[in-house]
Amino acid sequence: MKAANHALVVIDVQNDFCPGGALAVAGGDEIIIRINGLMDRFATVILTQDWHPATHASFAANHPGAAPFSLATMPYGPQVLWPTHCVQGTAGAAFHADLRTDPAQLILRKGFRPGIDSYSAFFENDRTTPTGLEGYLRARGVTGVTLVGLATDYCVAYSALDAARLGFQVTVLQGACRAIDLNGSLAVAQDQMRAAGVALEV
Ligand code: VGL
Ligand code: ZN
């Protein structure tokens, strides 16, 4: 068992990010067995769930003429336009059936505001609107987090960078993550995480 002040945060292990899903990450389902085993080693287990309204501004389908995976400029900065995914209440937004959910004390949903995406479990993509996770962790005395899940280069990396910026001790278990790797995004994310003092472990 890890120290009581260290939490496991499982990012977006949802059907749409697994093979067959709307925004499938290669091998996304391969990490589930390891994540399930990790849950017993942490006193605090948190799951996140990407949870978009159908009208969400990050969906290419809501930008006439825009191709999936193209870039748009939002008031808060550049935003990748994704295939429609993780729509609230759909099967694609549900956790993968093999993921253990019973050990989790908190399920945190993000990306529910129509006009702004939220890759990070801590802040929306303007990097200032909080999700509340920081307060939850601090109120419970958590000072370190281990991150696993999908996708390494988007929601995991953004969460890791925000956690480091907030002063948490951060570990990413890369073997329990899979990446989208859009135009070299994985290498960029790894460099940024390393520079921020995130421990990148296998
Ligand atoms: C994610 C793209 C869009 C992720 C979520 O979970 O990494 N990526 N929404
Ligand atoms: Zn999303």
pLDDT digits (tens, 9 = 90+) for 129-159: 999 999 999 999 999 999 999 999 999 999 9
Q: Whose CA is nearest to atom 4 of ligand 1?
A: 155
Examine the pLDDT at 2 and tell me if it is beyond 80: no
pLDDT exceeds cutoff 90 at 40: yes
Q: pLDDT-based confidence at 1, cuts 50/70/90?
A: confident
Closest atom of ligand 1 relative to the 11 alpha carbon: 6
The model's pTM: 0.98
Say if residues 149 and 95 touch (Cβ distance below 8 Å): no
Catalytically annotated residues: 12, 110, 155
Q: Which ligand is closest to the CA of 48, given by its number? A: 1
Q: In 10 A of CB 89, how many CB atoms?
A: 10
Q: CB within 8 A of 146, min separation 6: which ones?
A: 2, 6, 7, 8, 9, 38, 42, 170, 171, 172, 173
Instruction: Pinpoint the alpha helices (H) of 45-184.
Output: 133-139, 157-165
Which residue puts its alpha carbon closest to atom 8 of ligand 1? 154
Ligand 1 midpoint to CA 137 (Å): 22
Q: What is the mean pLDDT of residues 50-59?
A: 98
Helix boundaries (H) for the chain: 32-38, 133-139, 157-165, 185-195
Q: How far is the CA of 34 from the centre of ligand 2 (A)?
A: 23
Ion ligand 2 neighbours, Cβ < 5 Å? 50
Q: Which atom of ligand 1 is nearest to the CA of 12?
A: 6
pLDDT tens for each residue of 160-199 = 999 999 999 999 999 999 999 999 999 999 999 999 999 9
Find the mean pLDDT for residues 42-68.
Answer: 98
Looking from the CA of residue 149, the nearest atom of ligand 1 is: 6
Bridging pattern class, strands 77-80 and 6-11: unpaired
